[in-house]
Amino acid sequence: MSIVILSDIHSNLESFQAVLKDFSRERVDQVLCLGDVVGYAADPDHCIETLRGLTSHVVAGNHDWAVAGLADTSCFNPEARAAVEWTAGIITADHSAYLKGLPLTLCLPGMLLVHATPCQPESWDYIFSPDDAAMSFHHFDQQVCLTGHSHYPIAFAQDKEGTISVMWDSTFTLLESHRYLINVGSVGQPRDGDPRAAYGIYKPEDASFRLKRVPYDIKRAQEKIIAAGLPSFLAARLAAGR
Ligand code: ZN
C-alpha cells in the first residue's frame, strides 16, 4: 500500500501537475490532502477540480475555510487576505460549496489527518518545535498524525516514555514503539528555502515515509499570479521558497 500525501497546494496548478507527474511513476493506492487547496496562486478552480478527481480524503485548511466564508481573515496578512478575496470572487459556486463541506479532521486506519494541529484544529496554530509537537501528541491516538499549514516539512517521533525527537532525514522508517507527527510541507508554496514542490509518500506495510521534492515551472506560476492582479509578493516568494 502506497499513500501519497499532499498539503497546501494553494491554487498553484504548475506545482500540483509536476507532483502528479512525479507520483504517476509509482504505484499509488491512496491520495490524501491536508488542506489549503486554494489561496495565494491563480488556479483555484482547476486545482479543486483536479483534486476532486484524485481523492475524497481531504481536510479543510484555513484558506479553504476563509474562501468559503467560514473563517475570519482578520489575522491574515494583507497579501493572504487579498488572495482569499480574489479567490472567493472567482471560484464557482460548486467549488465554494465543496470547500465549505471539507471536514477539519479525518480518521483513517492508523492515521489522523488535520491541517494545523490535532488539539484545536480550528485555531490554526503552528507546530514548529518539539514543544509544540508535545502538546499535539496528547490529542491523537493513532500511530501517525499528518499535518501541513506551516509549509515547512518536518517530522517528530515520540517514544513510549514521551521523549520527542526530530526526524531530519527525508526518508525514515517508522518504529512500532513510536508515534509520529509528520508535516509534509507544501506543494504550492514551500517556505523552507527550497522552492521545489514538496509531498510525502507513506507505505504502512514497509513502515516507511519519504519526503519528495519536485522542480516545477515557477516562472509560469508567477506570470499567472501577476496576470490575475494578485500581490506581486506572492509571485516573488515562490522563487525563494520562503
Ligand atoms: Zn497554507
Distance 35 CA to ligand 1 centre (A): 7
To the question of pTM greater than 0.85 for the whole model, the response is yes
Average pLDDT, integer, range 211-215: 98
Distance 199 CA to ligand 1 centre (A): 13
Distance 149 CA to ligand 1 centre (A): 5
Distance 160 CA to ligand 1 centre (A): 31
Distance 19 CA to ligand 1 centre (A): 17
Distance 164 CA to ligand 1 centre (A): 25
Distance 151 CA to ligand 1 centre (A): 6
Angle between helices 44-54 and 13-23 (to 10 degrees): 20
According to the 3-state scheme, what is the secondary structure of the chain?
Answer: CCEEEECCCCCCHHHHHHHHHHHCCCCCCEEEECCCCCCCCCCHHHHHHHHHHHCCCECCCHHHHHHCCCCCCCCCCHHHHHHHHHHHHHCCHHHHHHHHCCCCEEEECCEEEECCCCCCHHHCCCCCCHHHHHHHHCCCCCCEEEECCCCCCEEEEECCCCCEEEECCCEEECCCCCEEEEECCCCCCCCCCCCCEEEEEEECCCCEEEEEEECCCHHHHHHHHHHCCCCHHHHHHHHHCC
Distance 185 CA to ligand 1 centre (A): 9
Instruction: Give the percent of the chain with pLDDT over 70.
Output: 100
The CA-atom distances, in angstroms, between 164 and each of 1, 23, 86, 132, 220 are 27, 31, 41, 11, 41
The full set of domain ranges for the chain reads: 3-240
pLDDT digits over 120-175, tens only?
Answer: 999 999 999 999 999 999 999 999 999 999 999 999 999 999 999 999 889 999 99
pLDDT at residue 17 in the model: 98
Distance 222 CA to ligand 1 centre (A): 17
Average pLDDT, integer, range 72-98: 96
According to the 3-state scheme, what is the secondary structure of 134-150?
Answer: HHHHCCCCCCEEEECCC
CATH homologous superfamily of 3-240: Metallo-dependent phosphatases (3.60.21.10)
pLDDT at residue 50 in the model: 98
Distance 83 CA to ligand 1 centre (A): 12
Distance 142 CA to ligand 1 centre (A): 24
pLDDT digits over 7-51, tens only?
Answer: 999 999 999 999 999 999 889 999 999 999 999 999 999 999 999
Distance 37 CA to ligand 1 centre (A): 8
Distance 207 CA to ligand 1 centre (A): 27
Distance 66 CA to ligand 1 centre (A): 12
Distance 63 CA to ligand 1 centre (A): 7
